[in-house]
Amino acid sequence: MKLTDEEVRHIALLARLGISDAEVEKFRNQLSNILENFDILSQADTEGLPPTAQSIALENIYRPDEAGPSLPVDDVLANAPDCEENCFKVNAVLE
Amino acid sequence: MNDLHHLTIHESHTLLKEKKFSSVELTRAVLKYLESIDGKIRACMRITAEQAMASAAAADKAIAEGRCSPLTGVPAIIKDNMCTRGITTTCGSKMLENFVPPYNAHVIEKLNSVNAVMVGKANMDEFAMGSSTENSAFFTTHNPWKLDCVPGGSSGGSAAAVAADACIYALGSDTGGSIRQPAGFCGVVGLKPTYGRVSRYGLVAFASSLDQIGPLAKDVTDAALIMNVISGHDKRDSTTVPLEVPDYTRALKTDIKGLKVGVPREYLVEGMQPAVRKAIETAAKKLAELGALVEWNVSLPNTRYGLAAYYILAPSEASANLARYDGVKYGYSYRETTSMWESMEKTKQFGFGAEVKRRIMLGTYALSAGYYDAYYLKAQKVRTLIKRDFDRAFEKYDVLVTPTSPTVAFQIGEKSDDPLQMYLSDICTLPINIAGVPAISIPAGFADGLPVGMQFIGKHFGEETLLRAAFAYEQATPWHKQKPSLA
């Protein structure tokens, strides 16, 4: 599986990961190489097999919907890059 | 009082209980030694001396009041991906360089509840992605046995600190071998519990269906003592299983007569170091001498797909988990722009290192439209195959024995430019996380002056059998008594 520059840029966009031209080149080669090695999976006969998402067979877990204390707002906002009036502050979404 | 750092948990506990020394004295001695050698091994992201001395004083008070459980007052180092309230938790990343968690991880609460003492946070590969600590955004940890070699990873700081006697024990986390491989490389005991045995609450998420916290210890007894404290159900991690936690020390028996041990041939892989193969074969013979029924040539035929399946599943989960680092709520944030999208993209571009980006890209690709079936879904089906291999094997055997890694510790820089070569370092440990079963790495000899790790694999929630096999082998061999010379 050889990736193109466009594919690498597309994946980066999907992940909202900024990427330099040098990284496009580097990741194109490395990811292509890794994916080629993963072609081995096509040899595995998985016809009719269910996928396993999680290794122990727990079903959905429910808990009572009980109110409890949350973290103090000031503690939570202490790590915020920017905040205003108990809110996280970001740049304008609509330009 | 100067060489207390050599002690194990069980030795420290006995002496603390007998009032031979206090936790303050023990902690001071450990800190003094840690501070004197950390310049050489660089195991710690930070040494938390002030908090440690306060915890030690509290532990002494508890002991005076008759509350002295085995971890009380005993100094530990915690991998820097477990949240510690008020103490920076970097996860080895620039992204979290200044992140001060507002809460404690479940395991930290558990340790606090018995008045344990934390002396430092351990270095690690960024977001636990790596096998050498070379992916730490800050520095590389050195192997105490040979300083120009890696300690393994991603819990390399934890393993190196335990091996160097720079603490009494440590906690690590293991997504594909991150406790066991460094334990093997550094010649200590490392246990990855069954998925669901230990709460992941407050562990910085990497791959949520694979991550598990576990002990790194100087011997098997200590590993059992740590498991007694950290295991158990936690309603904040709904993948923890509400099973009673046994007293794991009851499993520590030297009698393994009749224990059925399988040696899967797929783990004695091509390209493995001959000296490692020899050490494992010798160790398996030792188990037979001790009365175990060792069956060579067991087959887990789908092992060959483990690496590819893992490197699709883990990066896919990582790409989703790491999407949260958007520069909005906490962590590094690029703000030299008026555009929200540019801020988000540059935050990740400058906040993450190369391996983390590589895995986000790989995972995003495997989950993207058009490739989901061929990669992610296929890998999940292969996961079923690998799990069934183990299910079948455990119908016949109590434990499986393999090398922990195909080689001993490699040189710093040797594999850092070749991601695939680095991934191969975890070839013997990855399938265990895929199947969610528990495994322990214990010292099983030396090759070229570096420790060889042997891995025991057990069935789901079969930690007791693992500990019994590991303990019997440990008590019959001299390896865990050998220490690196750091003078």
Amino acid sitting at position B395: E
From the DSSP assignment, how many helices (H) and strands (E) are in chain B? 15, 11
Mean local confidence (pLDDT), B299-311: 96
Closest residue in chain B to residue A23, using alpha carbons only? B354
State whether residue B165 is helix, strand or coil.
coil
Q: Which chain B residues have a beta carbon less than 8 Å from that of A87?
A: none
φ/ψ of residue B16, rounded to 5: -65, -40
- Closest partner residue to B368 (CB to CB) among A14, A23, A61 is A14
A83 close to B (CB below 8 A): no
Q: Cβ–Cβ of B357/A42 closer than 8 Å?
A: no
pLDDT the model gives residue B1: 65
Percent of chain B exceeding pLDDT 90 equals 95
pLDDT the model gives residue A61: 82
Per-residue pLDDT reduced to its tens digit, B375-408: 999 999 999 999 999 999 999 999 999 999 999 9
Q: Which of A51-65, B27-41, B187-201 has the weakest average pLDDT?
A: A51-65
Q: Which chain A residues have a beta carbon less than 8 Å from that of B327?
A: 81
pLDDT the model gives residue B331: 97
Does a structural domain hold residue B10?
yes
Dihedral sign, Cα of residue B307, residue B156, residue B364, residue A52? positive
Q: Which chain B residues have a beta carbon less than 8 Å from that of A53?
A: 209, 380
Q: Which chain B residues have a beta carbon less than 8 Å from that of A33?
A: 420
Per-residue pLDDT reduced to its tens digit, B428-452: 999 999 999 999 999 999 999 999 9
pLDDT the model gives residue A54: 83
pLDDT the model gives residue B407: 95
Quickly list H helices, B75-179.
Answer: 106-113, 156-163
Query: Domain containing B45: what range?
Result: 4-255
Is B339 noted as a catalytic residue in this protein?
A: no
pLDDT the model gives residue A57: 73
A57 close to B (CB below 8 A): no
The catalytically annotated residue of B178, B405, B416, B425 is B178
What CATH number should be reported for the domain holding residue B147? 3.90.1300.10
Does a structural domain hold residue B163?
yes
B2 close to A (CB below 8 A): no
Percent of chain B exceeding pLDDT 70 equals 99
C-alpha gyration radius of chain B: 21
> To the nearest whole angstrom, how far is the Cα of A41 from the nearest Cα of chain B?
6
Does a structural domain hold residue B169?
yes
B194 contacts B437 by C-beta, under 8 angstroms:
yes
Kindly tell me if the per-residue pLDDT of A95 is higher than 70: no
As given in the structure block, the two tokens for residue B296 are: 């060579």
A12 close to B (CB below 8 A): yes
Other CB atoms within a 10 A radius of the CB of residue B206 amount to 26
A53 close to B (CB below 8 A): yes
As given in the structure block, the two tokens for residue B411 are: 């040189």
Does a structural domain hold residue B421?
no
DSSP B243: P
A56, A63, A66, A75: which to substitute to probe chain B, counting the most B Cβ within 10 Å?
A: A56
B381 close to A (CB below 8 A): yes
B212, B359, B381: which to substitute to probe chain A, counting the most A Cβ within 10 Å?
A: B381
pLDDT the model gives residue A92: 84
B308 close to A (CB below 8 A): yes
Helix B306-321 / helix B378-396 crossing angle, nearest 10 deg:
120
As given in the structure block, the two tokens for residue B199 are: 């709460």
Closest residue in chain B to residue A37, using alpha carbons only? B308
Q: Measure the CA–CA gap between B172 and B157, rounded to whole angstroms.
A: 9
pTM over 0.95: yes
Closest listed residue to residue B348, CA positions, set A79, A19, A88: A19
Q: Which chain A residues have a beta carbon less than 8 Å from that of B341?
A: 16
Q: Measure the CA–CA gap between B277 and B263, rounded to whole angstroms.
A: 12
pLDDT the model gives residue A17: 98
Q: Measure the CA–CA gap between B113 and B165, rounded to whole angstroms.
A: 24
pLDDT the model gives residue B129: 98
Does a structural domain hold residue B85?
yes
Q: Measure the CA–CA gap between B278 and B257, rounded to whole angstroms.
A: 23
The catalytically annotated residue of B12, B23, B79, B425 is B79
Q: What is the ipTM of this complex?
A: 0.95
Does a structural domain hold residue B147?
yes
Q: Measure the CA–CA gap between B208 and B231, rounded to whole angstroms.
A: 17
DSSP B82: B
Is B154 noted as a catalytic residue in this protein?
A: yes
B192 contacts B233 by C-beta, under 8 angstroms:
no
A4, A91, A93, A95: which to substitute to probe chain B, counting the most B Cβ within 10 Å?
A: A91
pLDDT the model gives residue B487: 64
Kindly tell me if the per-residue pLDDT of B421 is higher than 80: yes
Is B316 noted as a catalytic residue in this protein?
A: no
B residues 177-236 lying closer than 8 A (beta carbon) to A: 194-196, 209, 235
Q: Which chain B residues have a beta carbon less than 8 Å from that of A31?
A: 358, 361-362, 365
- Closest partner residue to B344 (CB to CB) among A16, A34, A51 is A16
Total domain count, chain B: 1
Q: Cβ–Cβ of B357/A56 closer than 8 Å?
A: no
Q: Which chain A residues have a beta carbon less than 8 Å from that of B306?
A: none
Mean local confidence (pLDDT), B81-108: 98
pLDDT the model gives residue B69: 97
Kindly tell me if the per-residue pLDDT of B119 is higher than 80: yes
As given in the structure block, the two tokens for residue A34 are: 């890794």
Return the biggest CA–CA distance within chain B.
71
pLDDT the model gives residue B277: 95
Per-residue pLDDT reduced to its tens digit, A63-90: 889 999 999 999 999 999 999 999 999 9
The whole-chain average pLDDT of chain B stands at 96
Share in percent of chain A as helix, strand, coil (round to 5): 40, 5, 55
Q: Cβ–Cβ of B360/A8 closer than 8 Å?
A: no
Class of residue B329 by CB neighbours under 10 A (exposed 0-12, middle 13-18, buried 19+): middle
Following CA atoms B199, B204, B208, B211 in sequence, which dihedral angle do they give, to the nearest 10 degrees? -60
Ordered strands of the B439-447 beta sheet: B44-47, B117-122, B75-79, B169-173, B213-217, B189-192, B439-447, B450-457, B399-403, B260-264, B293-298
B170 contacts B127 by C-beta, under 8 angstroms:
no
B430 close to A (CB below 8 A): no
